Chain A
Amino acid sequence: MCYDVAIIGAGVIGALTARELSKYNLKTVLLEATNDVAMGASKANSGIVHAGFDAKPGTLKAKLNVKGCEMMQKVCRDLSVPYKKNGSLVVAFSEEEMKTVQELYERGLANGVPDMKVLNKDELKAMEPNLSDDVFGALDAESAGIVCPYELTIAATENAVTNGVEFRRNFKVESIAFEDGVFSVKSAEGEIKTKYIVDAAGAHSDDIAKMIGDDCVELIIRRGEYFILDKAVGNMVSHTIFQCPTKMGKGILVSPTVDGNLLIGPTAEDIDDKHNTATTADGFNTIKTYSVKSCPAVSTRNAITSFTGLRAHPVNDDFILGPSKVNSQFIHASGIESPGLTSAPAIAEYLTDIITSAIGEVKKNDEFNGKREDVFRFRHATDEEKMTAIAKNPAYGRIVCRCETITEGEIIDAINAPAGARDVDGVKRRTRAGMGRCQGGFCGSKVVEILARELGCEINDITKFGNGSNILFDKTK
């Protein structure tokens, strides 16, 4: 058996590309090195749908950002993923920075960004009263939004699998051979054959490309640290607040999340180890210093957690998309740093066009259904919906996560979904159980129990995030 396409890496790019490919009669497999989807940059980024004024006109980043931003609302609606068009503000703190704001405005116009406005201080403060008194003005881009990046990845994978894509987890690619027009992709879990490869392996995409002898993917791994603050301060600002960009990126932002928390970060630090997702004391201090510059009332006393994301910064500063010069059946999807999440739906289309054109005659998948089945969310349901749901499945009547009001029924659904959760963090990302202010203190052990029961294993087999991250040891004496 030979696949038409193997996508390496189940991040947001891999997942949305898999879904896009499932619109065609192609045998597609989505290969993931870890125990779940969205385990790299897709689970640890700002979750911002950028308007598209940052990238240089004419670049892939510029083109795909604006297009992706347009597409995002529909994609999220189809996939039942929360999205909010909250608008973004790039805030200036001096006359000098107002020049940058003006430049961004003009670049935005060149990139085709709609609904932008340069605001003076009064207009800005009227819009966001909790901003610092030191602001001069801002670029307001109303087309920007926020989305939950891992939920988008999970939903896209689920929908892709429903539409016939195969998903293989813990398939860490170790080598790739090419013979008679077919790739053999090997991992400790076995080997698959495929005609095309999409290299969407994020920070590891350079290593994958090297496996076919292509060393043109040059990445710098940039570490970004964040704090998530309690929902009690989630409405401190309504827009995503950026400071003026520097050569290291878009700087420290203050933004509501689509789930109602406040996000502050990221730092930007180039590192050598692409596995190093540790947070640092220096990073914490940087976030504190810069976030209070935008919003003086922001305090990490309200932090409920912190995390680090690694972004794969391409040396040439643009997305690397398209066939490899070494082998045209190997398609790069590398260097997807910001605005990668925003661009993802557009990148998925872009890559799918390349593949379908290369293959030539490809029939549409008539059975494709782009709508993900509605996911029952107790916390968002009306009283009537709650009663109906509990009557149908009593497990929706048992609250497991108190902080976020997540029911046992939702957790069972998350485990049994296509490409469902296999570990505690997987349940957390799918349901939000453990995402609240107690961070799983009460529900963590219950989630472990439910996972063991649903997966038919012992509770000490259950991991936090796959291989080696077991939570419990042996039985007590």
Chain B
Amino acid sequence: MLNYDLVVVGGGPAGMAAALKAKECGVDSIIVLERAEALGGILEQCIHTGFGLHYFGEELSGPEYAAKFIEQVEKTDITVKTDTMVLDIDGNNLVTAVNKADGLLKIQAKAIVLAMGCRERPRGALEISGTRASGIMTAGTAQKYVNLDGYMPGKKVVILGSGDIGLIMARRMTLEGAEVKVVCELMPYSGGLTRNIVQCLDDFGIPLKLSTTVVETHGKDRLEGVTIAQVDEKLQPIESTKEYIECDTLMLSVGLIPENELTKNVGIGIDRITNGAVVDEMRQTDHKGIFACGNVLHVHDLVDYVTLEAQIAGKGAADYILGKCDNEPCYVNTTTGNGVRYLVPQKVNINNKEAVKLYFRVGRIYKNAKVILECDGKIISSKKKVKLAPGEMEDVVIPADVLAGMTPESSIVVRVEE
């Protein structure tokens, strides 16, 4: 059995930033376990730019953004095991992992940072009827085929879902000579970043059909076409609007699901909306010594915010390991008010002396609205926003002095006012 102070599960942007921060905070022995063959996570296949604008102040590609962290990790004595899959975490922070070289690994950790990322929602979850021909895949899988393997997964493409990966792939496939016929979005708004709609669809004349979905797939061997239809307010397809579109590929970009199988096995509490762990402001879960950050905690819009969050978790894990943690935290839950789908962290330790930033997403598009933070019935802040969209993460800060004045009975509410 191996012993490490900190085991980081996942070597993507979240795992690397958490490990680096913990190292910086003085944690001695750290191991990062990554299931892919290299560090970097999903960034490795994201060869488009747009990463790092907030964190580094420059526009980088995914691999470039990842490389900056990989280089830093390599300069430290952090142990990295790639091609290594974590199979289990038990209630005593014993991690079981496996790889080709070591076989089965048992690692006893003082603290664990969960940074497993997320996966794409597959077709099966969507109830699209029709055949099960080849050529139906998630946008992320298609991205891997094009960017890493160098093969075209399709020539005439329909994309369902306007999540960012779908938008990015619409442009990527077009640049590679494919014809992207349409991007359909079930909701009346896109789930992606505005900048991606402009740069990936509008600039290439690819139509985005809102309130439209794919209802049926056709073709016995390879996909031959799809039937699309507009949906009503209850998101049910409208029969009279059905339209057949010839295509050989259907790409799905219909949502990301945090990969919390390990988390659930430990018995850690999961937020029903984020599908990630319930955490405090240090990103500690309800299991002492286990922290979570990045897309495994909640799906982020920008990797820059993943990095920032992972640094919080890394510092939290370091404090825990070094005995600097508050052993008797006094938690107040954060509550979603009107228009707010979720809040992370879900609870805040009011003994904390520092300001806490809450991240959230709204449930629909708002124009000229206000984001209001209300503590104990008192409006603490009211921030005007020209636009709020479900595709973009928002944040609001609870100032340190407000926290200082709170009691266990206090309330923290974030809401949107039109």
Task: Give me the interface of A with B, judged by CB distance under 8 Å.
Answer: 228, 275, 277-281, 283-284, 300, 303-307, 383, 386-387, 390-391, 394-395, 397-399, 402-403, 405, 437-442, 444-445, 449, 459-460, 463-477
Task: Decide yes or no whether B266 CB sits under 8 A from chain A.
Answer: no
Q: Across the two chains, which residue of chain A brings its CB closest to B220?
A: A275
Q: Does B53 contact A (CB under 8 A)?
A: no
Question: Could you tell me if A284 and B129 are in contact, using CB atoms closer than 8 angstroms?
Answer: yes
Supply 20 A–B pairs (Cβ within 8 Å), ascending by A.
A228-B124, A275-B220, A277-B131, A278-B131, A280-B129, A281-B216, A390-B98, A395-B100, A397-B99, A398-B100, A399-B35, A399-B98, A403-B261, A441-B138, A441-B141, A459-B149, A467-B221, A472-B149, A475-B151, A476-B151
Determine the distance from Cα of A81 to Cα of B200 in the docked complex, in whole angstroms.
49
Which residues of B have CB within 8 Å of A305?
A: 122-124
The interface residues of chain B lying within 8 Å CB-to-CB of A465 are 134, 221
Bound state CA distance, A394 and B98, in angstroms? Answer: 10
The CA of A281 and the CA of B137, in the complex, are separated in Å by: 20
**B176 beta carbon closer than 8 Å to chain A:** yes
Specify which of B119, B135, B145, B155 is in contact with A441 (CB 8 Å cutoff). Answer: B119
A402 touching B104 by the CB < 8 A rule?
no
> Which chain B residues border A438 with CB–CB below 8 Å?
119-120, 122
Q: B129 to A283, Cβ gap below 8 A?
A: yes
CB distance from B40 to the nearest CB of A (A): 15
Determine if A445 and B152 form an interchain contact, defined as CB atoms under 8 angstroms apart: no
A391 to B103, CA, bound (A): 7
CB proximity of B398 to chain A, nearest CB, Å: 34
A460 near B151: Cβ-Cβ < 8 Å:
yes
**How far, in angstroms, from A252 to B85 measured CA to CA in the complex?**
39
Given contacts A402-B259, A472-B152, A473-B155, 14 further A-B contacts (CB under 8 A): A228-B124, A278-B218, A281-B127, A303-B124, A397-B102, A438-B120, A438-B122, A439-B123, A441-B119, A445-B149, A449-B149, A467-B221, A470-B134, A472-B149
Bound form: Cα–Cα A440–B137 in Å: 9
Does A459 contact B151, Cβ atoms closer than 8 Å? Answer: yes
**Which of B98, B120, B176, B220 gathers most chain A CB within 10 Å?**
B98
- Contact A300/B127 with A386-B103, A474-B152, A477-B176 known, Cβ cut-off 8 Å: yes
Q: Is the beta-carbon distance between B221 and A469 smaller than 8 angstroms?
A: yes
Contact A397 B129 (CB under 8 A): no
- Tell me, in angstroms, the Cα distance from A469 to B131 when the chains sit together: 12
Interface size class of B (residues with CB under 8 A): 35 or more
Residues of B within 8 A of A281 (CB): 127, 129, 215-216, 237
- Cα A395 to Cα B155 in complex, Å, equals 35
Of residues 183 through 224 on chain B, the ones whose CB sits less than 8 Å from some CB of chain A are 215-218, 220-222
Complex CA distance for A449 and B100, rounded to whole angstroms: 18
Q: How far is the CA of A390 from the CA of B101 in the complex (A)?
A: 9
Residue of B nearest to A400 (CB): B85
Min Cβ gap A20→B in Å is 32
Contact of B122 with A476 in the complex, beta carbons under 8 Å: no
Q: A304-B122, A398-B83, A405-B87 are in contact. Are A474 and B140 (CB under 8 A)?
A: no
Q: With A and B bound together, what is the CA distance between A258 and B233 in angstroms? A: 40
Give chain B nearest CB distance to A396 CB in angstroms: 8
B interface with A by C-beta (< 8 Å) = 35, 83, 85, 87, 96, 98-104, 119-120, 122-125, 127, 129-135, 137-138, 140-141, 144-146, 149-155, 176-177, 215-218, 220-222, 237, 259, 261
Q: Are B103 and A463 in contact (CB under 8 A)?
A: no
Q: Which residues of B sit under 8 angstroms from A277, Cβ to Cβ? A: 131-132
Contact call A397/B98, Cβ cutoff below 8 A: yes
CA distance A382 to B303 in the complex (A): 39
The residues of B that contact A466 with a CB separation of less than 8 Å are: 221
| In the complex, chain A residues whose CB is within 8 Å of the CB of B124 | 228, 303-306, 439
4 tightest Cβ-Cβ pairs between the two chains A and B? A468-B221, A305-B124, A464-B134, A439-B122
Name the distance in Å between A11's Cβ and chain B's nearest Cβ.
Answer: 18
Interface residue from A306, A386, A442, A477 paired with B98 (Cβ < 8 Å): A386
* A444 touching B100, Cβ below 8 Å: no
Kindly state the separation between the CA atoms of A267 and B144 in the bound complex, as whole angstroms. Answer: 37
Contact of A476 among B96, B102, B150, B259 (CB under 8 A): B150
Which residues of A lie under 8 Å from residue B144 when comparing CB positions?
445
Are the CB atoms of A390 and B127 closer together than 8 Å? no
Whole-angstrom distance between the alpha carbons of A437 and B275 in the complex?
Answer: 14
| Distance, CA A470 to CA B248, complexed state (A) | 11
Q: Which residues in B have their C-beta under 8 angstroms from that of A459?
A: 149, 151
A29 to B261: give the CA distance in the assembly, Å. 45
Known: A306-B127, A387-B104, A395-B100. A475 touches B152 (CB 8 A): yes
- Are the C-beta atoms of A390 and B141 separated by less than 8 Å? no
Within 8 Å by CB of B141, from A387, A444, A449, A470, lies: A444
Q: How far is the CA of A340 from the CA of B385 in the complex (A)?
A: 64
Establish whether residues A390 and B131, one from each chain, have CB atoms under 8 Å apart when the complex forms: no
Q: Does B125 lie within 8 Å of A399, measured CB to CB?
A: no
Docked complex Cα distance between A279 and B216 (Å): 9
- Docked pose: A471 CA to B129 CA in angstroms: 20
Residues of chain A contacted by B222 (CB below 8 angstroms): 468-470
User: Which residues does chain A contribute within 8 Å of B145, judged by CB atoms?
Assistant: 445, 472
* Interface pair A303/B140, CB less than 8 Å apart: no
Q: Are B151 and A441 in contact (CB under 8 A)?
A: no
With A305-B124, A476-B150 known as contacts, the answer to whether A397 contacts B103 (CB < 8 A) is yes
Known: A277-B131, A395-B100, A397-B99. A476 touches B141 (CB 8 A): no
A278 to B261, CA, bound (A): 32
Bound-complex Cα distance A305 to B128 (A): 10
**Interchain CB contact under 8 A, A394 and B100:** yes
User: Closest Cβ of chain B: how far from A168's Cβ, in Å?
Assistant: 20
A222–B237 alpha-carbon span in the complex (Å):
27
Residues of A within 8 A of B135 (CB): 471
Contact of B129 among A278, A395, A439, A445 (CB under 8 A): A278
* Structural contact, B132 and A445, CB atoms closer than 8 A: no
